[in-house]
Chain A
C-alpha cells in the first residue's frame, strides 16, 4: 500500500503517452497544469528550505544549550559562595556580568533567598550596574521579550532607583510588562504609584486586573482611602468599573483596615455574587462587631461561597451571637460551608461546646464536620487520653462515647479507653 500509488501513476504516465489524448481542457497547454506545476515546485521548495532551516536552528540551539549548562554550573557555585559571605572578587564578576546566563542564575538565587544573603546579592547587582542596564533595556528596547525580561528582573531587584522607569512602563503596550512593572513598584513601595495603579486597574481586563489588585495589597494602609472610595463608587476622577469591585474588596480584606467597613457592608448587599463573596471574606478582617448581623444574614445566601466566607469571617469576629446560626450552617449542603462553620465555632469563645453538641445532630454531615474539627483541634485526642488515664471529665467521656457511636477516628480511638468510659 505504501508507495504503490506513485509507482502506479508513473506507469500510467508511460501508457498515457501512447494512449489516447485527454480532453483539450486538461492538456499540457491548459492553464490548470501550468498553474499547478509551478505551485508544486514553490510549495516543495519552501517546505524543504523551512525544514532545513529548522534543522540548522535546532543544531545551533543544542550547542548553545550545552555551553550554557556548563557556565551555569560554575555560576551557581560562585554565587552561593558570594551570597553567604560579604566579600567577592569584583573584577571577575565584571567579566561575567554581560552574560545572560549569569543574570538568569542571579535572578534564580534571588527568588528563593531572603534576609542578609539577598541583600548581599542585591548590593552586588547594584555595584555591577546591572540595575541601570535593565532600566535602559526597559526604556529603549523595541523587542517585547527583552522588555519583559528586563522588567521581570527589575521586579526581582526592587531598587528604588528604577521606580521612574517603572512608572512609565505602566503604560507599555505589552501586558506582561505593565503587570510586572506594577509588581515591581509594589515591591519598592513607592507611594506615588497608588493612583496610577488604580487608574490602571480600570483599564485592565480580567487577569491583568487581578494582578494589579494583588500589587495594591503591598501598599497597605496608604492605599486604603483611595480603594475605599473606589469600592463605594464615590471617586469622581475614577470612572469606576463595577466589574473590578470584587478585586478591590479582596484587596481591602487583605489589608484589613477598618476604614473599609462601610464599603464592604454595602457590597454585601450587592446583586453580584462574586462581589458578595469577596465582601463577606474581607469583613473577617476589616469588620468590627457592627457587621456581625449582616454576616449572619449572609449565612443564608444562595451562593455557597458567600455562605462559606461569611462563616469564616464570623469566626474571626469571635462574637457569641454567631454560635447558633453557625450551628445551623453546619448542616449546609456544601462541604466548605460546613468546614468553615466548624472552624469558626472552634474560634468563638463557647463555640467548642456547640461543636460537641453537634455530635448528636440528626444531620450526618453536620456530625462529620464537627468530629473532624474536634480531631484537628486535638480535643478528641485529649479526650481519649484523659479517658485512658481515668481523669476524663464529662465532656471527654461524651466525646469518646460519640466516637464509638460514629465509628470515627480508628487511629485515635482505642479499646482500652472505650472500655473504661463505656464499660
Chain B
C-alpha cells in the first residue's frame, strides 16, 4: 500500500472518527438531558422564586452605540422572573445618545457611589441610578471594549453573582431562574453557568419577548439554526456532564463574582474572550485544586440574531476561528496534562483535535481524495462508502440534535419541521465545506490588520450589521 493510499484512508477514517466522537458526546448529552427533567420543573422554580436562599444577581449589559435598543433591552431584563436583581448598563464610551436615552427613559440621576476597583478598567466617569423604584444602574466610562465594560460592571455590582449579556439578546422569562438553579443546587462548587443561545431570526418578537418561534427563510440563516441546535443540544450538555465545558457564551453567562475577580475578569481585546475566560477559570481552579463546576443549562434560553448574509457570517466565523487559535496557543500547556483533570485529558485535547486540526485535514481531504480517486490511486469501493458514512454520520448527528431539541417543543409547524430535516442533511454538503474553507482562511488572516474593521467594533453587540426587523 502506497503512502498516498495510507494518507487518504487516514483522512477518511479521521472523518468517521470525528463523527463517531460527536455521536458519543451526543449520547452523553442524551442521558444528561434526561436526568434533568426540565419539563417537570415548575415546582422547583416556584420554590426558588419564594425562597430567601436564592442569591441576588447583578445583570451587566455592556452597551456601545446601542441607543436604539438599549431601553427595550433593559425593560426586558427588568421583566425577568426573579427574586432580586439589579441591572447595570455599562456605556462603553458610545458616540451616540445611549446615556441620554437611558437618563430620559428611566429618570436616572448621578450618584456618588464608592466602589473598590477589583478589576482594572478604563476610567469610569459617572454612575447613575434610577429615581423610579427600579433597580437600574448606569455606568458611563471610556471606551475599552466589551470585556472592559463587563469588568467595570463587575466593579460596580453589589450582588455575589453576575450575569453577562448583550443588549440585543432577547431573553426568556424564566432563563435567569433556570440558570441560577445550578448555583442554588451546589453553591460551594458552581462558579459559572452558561445558557442556551438560539437564533432569533424568523421568530416573532413583541415588546422584548419571543412570542412565536419559527424558522427564518434564507438558507444561510436556516443552516445556522441547525448548527446552533446541534452544538447547543448534542454537544454542550454532554461536555458539561463530563465536567469539561470549554465555552460559556459571553452573551449569556452567569458567574460567581468572586471567581471572576480571582482570575482577573474578562481579557480586553481578545477575539475569543468568552472561551478564554472559561479556560482561565478551568486552569485557575484545577491548578489550585479547588473543586469547582462549570455548568451548561440547556433550558435557560436566550435568543440572538445570527448573521443574515454570507459576507457577515464569513467574517464572524473567521473571527471566531482566529479567537479559537489564540486560545489554543495560550492554553497549549493544558493539552493532555493530567493536572487539569477531565479538561486536560479529554475535553481540551478533543476540542483541539476536532475544532482546530479537523478543518485542515478536511480541507486537504477535499482536494487529495478526489484527486487520488481520479488518478486511480484509491479503491473507490472503499473510499466512497467511507466518505458516505462520514456524511451519513454527520447528518445523523444533526438529527440527534433535533431529537434532543424535541423536549423543548419548538419548530412544530409542518413547514418548519420539514425544513429542519432537509437542512440537517443538506448542511453536510455545502455549508460544512464552506465553513472549513473560512476556517482555513482564518489561519492566514492577520487580526491586527485594521482592514477587517472588527477591532473597532470592540465586540459589543451583534456582528450582524444588517438587522432584521424583529
Which A positions have Cβ atoms within 8 angstroms of B? 1-6, 8-9, 11-13, 15-16, 19-20, 22-23, 25-28, 32-33, 36-37, 39-40, 43-44, 46-47, 50-51, 54-55, 57-59, 61-62, 65, 111, 145, 148-149, 152, 155, 176, 179-180, 183, 206-207, 210-211, 214, 250, 274, 333, 335-336, 364-365, 368, 406-408, 410-411
Contacts and interface: CB of A to CB of B under 8 A. Distances in A.
B374 A8 contact: yes
B382 interface: yes
Nearest to A60: B412
Interface string B109-139: 1111110100000000000000100000000
Contact of B414 (A25, A33, A62, A411): A62
A3 B388 CA distance: 12
A368 B113 contact: yes
Interface stretch (B170-178, B350-358, B365-373): B365-373
Nearest to A18: B376
Contacts of B393: 43
A12 B421 contact: no
Contact of B384 (A9, A62, A155): A9
B53 A250 contact: yes
B291 interface: no
A206 B379 contact: no
Interface stretch (B267-275, B340-348, B425-433, B457-465): B425-433
B47 A211 contact: yes
Interface stretch (B60-68, B182-190, B239-247): B182-190
Contacts of A62: 412-414, 417
Interface stretch (B202-210, B217-225, B326-334, B396-404): B396-404
B110 A364 contact: no
B417 A410 contact: no
B468 to A, nearest CB: 24
Residue of A5, A180, A408 contacting most chain B CB atoms (<10 Å): A5
B373 A12 contact: yes
Contact of B406 (A13, A54, A59, A179): A54
A26 B382 contact: yes
Interface stretch (B36-44, B77-85, B316-324): B36-44
Interface residues of B, number: 69
Nearest to A175: B37
A204 to B, nearest CB: 12
B11 to A, nearest CB: 12
Given A55-B418, A206-B185, A274-B188, A411 B42 contact: no
A16 B376 contact: yes
B389 A43 contact: yes
B396 A43 contact: yes
Nearest to A369: B114
Contacts, number: 168
A33 B381 contact: yes
B185 A207 contact: yes
Given A43-B396, A210-B53, A368-B113, A9 B380 contact: yes
Contacts of A32: 382
Contact of B376 (A15, A27, A46): A15
B103 interface: no
Nearest to B370: A8
Contacts of B424: 51
A8 B373 contact: yes
A2 B373 contact: no
A12 B374 contact: yes
Residue of B40, B47, B374 contacting most chain A CB atoms (<10 Å): B40
A57 B387 CA distance: 30
Nearest to A411: B109
A11 B378 CA distance: 12
Given A12-B376, A22-B379, A54-B421, 16 more contacts: A5-B387, A9-B370, A11-B374, A27-B379, A51-B424, A54-B406, A58-B406, A59-B412, A62-B413, A152-B43, A207-B186, A250-B53, A364-B114, A368-B112, A408-B111, A410-B111
Contacts of A1: 366, 433-434, 437
Please give me the 5 A-B residue pairs with the lowest Cβ-Cβ distance, nearest first: A12-B373, A8-B370, A58-B417, A22-B379, A62-B412
Contacts of B453: none
A55 B40 CA distance: 25
Nearest to B9: A26
A61 B433 CA distance: 34
Nearest to B39: A145
Contacts of A152: 40, 42-43
Given A54-B402, A207-B184, A368-B113, A13 B380 contact: yes
B325 interface: no
Interface string B15-51: 0000000000000000000000101101110110001
Contacts of A27: 379
Interface in B289-331: none
Nearest to A335: B158
26 contacts: A1-B433, A4-B370, A8-B371, A9-B373, A13-B373, A13-B384, A22-B379, A26-B382, A33-B379, A40-B385, A43-B389, A54-B406, A54-B421, A58-B414, A59-B417, A145-B39, A176-B40, A179-B43, A210-B184, A211-B44, A250-B53, A368-B112, A408-B111, A408-B112, A410-B109, A410-B111
Given A51-B399, A62-B413, A9 B366 contact: no
B339 to A, nearest CB: 27
B361 interface: no
Contacts of A250: 53
Contact of A50 (B44, B186, B403): B403
Given A36-B385, A54-B417, A368 B370 contact: no
B392 A5 contact: no
B395 interface: yes
A421 B188 CA distance: 52
B376 A58 contact: no
Residue of B376, B379, B387 contacting most chain A CB atoms (<10 Å): B379
Contacts of B451: none
Given A8-B370, A368-B113, A55 B421 contact: yes
A33 B9 CA distance: 13
Given A1-B437, A40-B389, A406-B112, A12 B370 contact: yes
B383 interface: yes
A25 B2 CA distance: 13
Contact of B37 (A13, A176, A407): A176
